[in-house]
């Protein structure tokens, strides 16, 4: 009996377990994002009354966690099980889904460059729409406060954009103590202050413009975001290129693994 054995094509263990390990991280991150989103909704009572989702006046930041978490969970699951069980259907689903996301990102980047003025108008509309709903959702409120503090801005294009909110507008019929004011996140920060003065924006917009600049930020968040983007263009571009290369790398590995599996099965 001959000691020689026929050696056919084999599935690369390196590619198989690299894809598996890579997607395990995505899977757990997806679960974490979904968990945070569902926990936040539960705290706000949304899970006990699903119809309240449609009652939100502005953008709910929790949607980001739910959508991103869901996509990461699905991709991680398909990649993990597909690699571990050598399931070509799940691996193809993983690579196609990742390819669609890459294509959408590329399309969004091109459209954002071509229609940048339209994007600017939509951003202005988005911020003002959420200013109206500032007090309606605590997560939205925290998001707006973080944005205004981080970019040192107030409103979409100016502090007077806060007239859109029923608590901050300057109409005579407004009985709120916050009338003609702005949220504390619009206030210029004093480095000597350890405790945030949440009333620092009261009556701020009743002052002359010269005095306003001492108390609050008078530049809007849209122009401040544009300025930040121009100053950090290299970093932003590097992040997007890095994400794109990871996606291309993942697609290539998945396709190579599918080819190996199909070649092995064809040799049986």
Which of the four pLDDT bands, split at 50, 70 and 90, describes residue 9?
low
pTM for the model: 0.73
Strand partners, 216: 187
Which of the four pLDDT bands, split at 50, 70 and 90, describes residue 111?
confident
Q: With a cut of 50, say whether residue 6 has pLDDT above it.
A: no
Q: What is the pLDDT of residue 258?
A: 86
Separation between Cα atoms, residue 134 and residue 120, nearest integer Å: 21
Closest by CA position to 222, among listed 154, 162, 165: 154
Q: What is the pLDDT of residues 132-184, one digit of tens each?
A: 989 888 888 988 999 999 999 999 999 999 999 999 999 989 889 999 999 99
Which range has the worst mean pLDDT, 7-16, 141-150, 198-207? 7-16
Q: What is the pLDDT of residues 217-240, one digit of tens each?
A: 999 999 999 899 889 988 988 988
The answer to whether 156 and 221 have CB atoms below 8 angstroms apart is: yes
Q: What is the pLDDT of residue 44?
A: 66
Q: What is the pLDDT of residue 45?
A: 59
Q: How many CA atoms lie within 13 A of 205 on its CB side?
A: 21
């Amino acid at each position: 009996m001959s000691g020689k054995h026929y050696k056919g094509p084999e599935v690369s263990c390196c590619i198989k377990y690299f894809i598996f390990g890579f997607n395990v991280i995505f899977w757990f991150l997806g679960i974490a994002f979904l968990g945070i989103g569902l926990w936040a909704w539960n705290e706000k009572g949304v899970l006990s009354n699903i119809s309240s989702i449609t009652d939100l006046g502005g953008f709910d930041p929790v949607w980001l966690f739910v959508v991103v978490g869901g996509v990461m969970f699905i991709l991680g699951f398909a990649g993990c099980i597909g690699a571990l069980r050598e399931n070509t259907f799940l691996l193809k689903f993983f690579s196609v889904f990742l390819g669609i996301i890459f294509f959408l990102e590329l399309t969004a980047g091109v459209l954002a460059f071509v229609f940048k003025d339209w994007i600017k108008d939509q951003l202005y509309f988005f911020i003002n729409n959420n200013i109206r709903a500032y007090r309606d959702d605590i997560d939205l409120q925290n998001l707006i406060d973080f944005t205004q503090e981080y970019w040192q801005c107030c409103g979409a294009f100016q502090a007077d954009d806060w007239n859109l909110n029923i608590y901050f507008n300057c109409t005579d019929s407004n009985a709120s103590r916050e009338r003609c004011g702005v949220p504390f996140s619009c206030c210029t920060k004093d480095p000597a202050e350890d405790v945030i003065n949440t009333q620092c924006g009261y009556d701020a917009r009743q002052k002359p413009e010269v005095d306003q600049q001492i108390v609050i930020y008078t530049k809007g968040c849209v122009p401040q975001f544009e300025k930040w983007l121009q100053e950090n263009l290299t970093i932003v571009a590097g992040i997007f290129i890095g994400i794109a290369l990871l996606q291309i790398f993942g697609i290539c590995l998945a396709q190579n693994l599918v080819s190996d599996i199909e070649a092995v099965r064809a040799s049986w």
